[in-house]
Chain A
């Protein structure tokens, strides 16, 4: 394990200490896993009110090219999503793929709203993947598109049903944003870039802030009784309930977006053309199916099945899959998991067994998200 002295600190490190956080090494950073409230209450508080998360360890970067078409085309050589038609002020979830069509990382991409920012795309990538991602992206870019890594900004998230009303007190224009929209905002007079998205299944924002202003903004939000600081522990249980993948666990360099059940990140034009790394394989999988699929699993009883637990068909000793994320879902008061199973056993309701400490626990393939998402979408 890394020595605490070698760990990187986010701009909010001092605040975490002040708040009494329990710090743990995570992706090379000294990060708060929980605050005195504890994982369970932090989780429930986020679902009921609003939670503030420090996600400054994640990688922020810009792609900068002469115009949107050029920059989007450059990014499209690495990802299976439609970046060319991404509208100004919109954000999109995508994945970097290797030549096997497997996932190098998952990331958020947003196109700035302002016309003068045409040709720029903002990327937010996973902390543990960022060095590798940047290397791969930089190597693939044409001469007229540059990768500019952002080192001087913090990233925080405010998530939960009361996130919007609290945010509006400091940045009134935030209220106009819809799910997966991104734009610059003035937060108490500080220029920030916000997106209406997150990793909890709740409505909320992720806010990119100049490092020096991060603590002031975090404190302004935390001063509101509707907001509590939330650690990585609850962040993980919240995203699990929301059915969202954790890179390196639920998706990785051995899984394609089809196997990972995240084909929603692939828009029509890209799915038809297959003009991305591993495209031929991914298209074949889309047409013919895959051997395995990521599914949600609900267990009977209270015992959680965690990452690595074997999956079996009832009455069989054969290992047919493994749990990739699992734990107790505080909102449901019951254990849930996700994992890979043979495609013929992936239908909702299929009965399976998860092996925990040598005992086979009955489970069923279940729909995800486990807890309904409450994103602030445009009325249809």
Chain B
């Protein structure tokens, strides 16, 4: 299983042809207390950079983008009832959605965990 990161502060864990996608711990920390999450519908075909989910803190709404092309296969219903899970477990239980990889070559463009950590240091 390999994990990738994006400049939009999303992480992807790849298992077979399925990517589990969430926001990073850095992102949840920047957002503050999450009070609402809007998930994409299963079956939806999305392109890289498309806005597919929304995460809202008390302060503001932020978009979550599709990190790669693909088809949404599942949203994490846990976040609908317990949006605060995003603050507690951003990089584990509080994943946002799972998607079927549409173009695995796009993964090559994404960051490794070490690269992402270095990227965050520059912000």
A and B physically associate? yes
B residues 34-56 with Cβ under 8 Å of A?
35-36, 38, 54, 56
Contact of B35 among A33, A40, A234 (CB under 8 A): A40
- Residue from B35, B54, B61 with most neighbouring chain A CB atoms (10 Å): B35
- Tell me which residues across on chain A come within 8 A of B61, comparing CB atoms: 304, 306
Chain A residues contacting B57 (CB-CB under 8 Å) are 39
Query: Does any Cβ of A come within 8 Å of B83's Cβ?
Result: yes
CB distance from B31 to the nearest CB of A (A): 10
**Which listed residue (B33, B36, B60) contacts A38, Cβ 8 A?**
B33
- Tell whether, in the assembled complex, residue B32 and residue A302 are in contact, meaning their CB atoms are under 8 Å apart: no
Determine the distance from Cα of A43 to Cα of B33 in the docked complex, in whole angstroms: 11
B35 touches A304 (CB 8 A): yes
Q: Are A40 and B32 in contact (CB under 8 A)?
A: yes
Query: B83 near A34 (CB under 8 angstroms)?
Result: no
Least Cβ–Cβ distance between B29 and chain A, in angstroms: 10
Q: Does B58 contact A (CB under 8 A)?
A: yes
Asked if B36 contacts A40 (CB within 8 A), the reply is no
Shortest beta-carbon distance, A172 to chain B, in Å?
Answer: 36
A41 within 8 A of B: yes
CB proximity to B under 8 Å, residues A230-267 = 233-234, 237
- Residue ID in chain A nearest B57 by CB atoms: A39
A295 to B84, CA, bound (A): 29
Is the CB–CB distance between B58 and A303 below 8 Å? Answer: no
Give residues 46-78 of B contacting A (CB, 8 Å): 54, 56-61
Q: How far is the CA of A38 from the CA of B56 in the complex (A)?
A: 14
Interface size counted on chain B using CB atoms at 8 A: 14
CB pair B58–A328 under 8 Å, yes or no, is yes
Q: Is the CB of B35 within 8 A of A43?
A: no
Contact A34 B35 (CB under 8 A): no
Q: Tell me whether A378 is interfacial, beta carbon within 8 Å.
A: no
* Neighbouring B residues of A135 by C-beta, 8 Å: none
Nearest chain A residue, comparing its CB with the CB of B80: A302
**CB-defined contacts of B80 to chain A, threshold 8 Å:** 302
* Distance in angstroms between the alpha carbons of A302 and B61 in the assembled complex: 13
Verify B33–A41 contact, CB threshold 8 A. yes
Contact A43 B54 (CB under 8 A): no
Q: Is A279 an interface residue (CB 8 A)?
A: no
The distance in angstroms between the C-alpha atoms of A237 and B33, with both chains bound, is: 13
Residues in chain A near residue B83, CB distance under 8 A: 302
Residue A277 interfacial (CB < 8 Å) = no
A237-B56 Cα distance, complex, nearest whole Å: 14
A296 within 8 A of B: no
Q: Check if A380 is an interface residue, CB within 8 A of chain B.
A: no
In angstroms, Cα B17 to Cα A86, docked, is 73
Instruction: Tell me the residues in window 1-54 of chain A with beta carbons closer than 8 Å to chain B beta carbons.
Output: 33-34, 38-41, 43
Known A-B contacts: A39-B59, A306-B60, A357-B54. Give 20 more (CB < 8 A). Answer: A33-B59, A34-B32, A38-B33, A39-B32, A41-B33, A233-B32, A234-B58, A237-B58, A302-B80, A302-B83, A303-B38, A304-B36, A304-B56, A304-B61, A306-B61, A328-B35, A328-B36, A328-B56, A330-B35, A330-B58
15 residue pairs from A and B, CB less than 8 Å apart: A33-B59, A39-B33, A39-B59, A40-B35, A41-B33, A43-B58, A233-B32, A233-B58, A302-B80, A304-B56, A328-B35, A328-B36, A328-B58, A330-B58, A357-B54
Give residues in A with beta carbon < 8 Å to B. 33-34, 38-41, 43, 233-234, 237, 302-304, 306, 327-328, 330, 335, 357
Q: Which residues of B contact A (CB under 8 A)?
A: 32-33, 35-36, 38, 54, 56-61, 80, 83
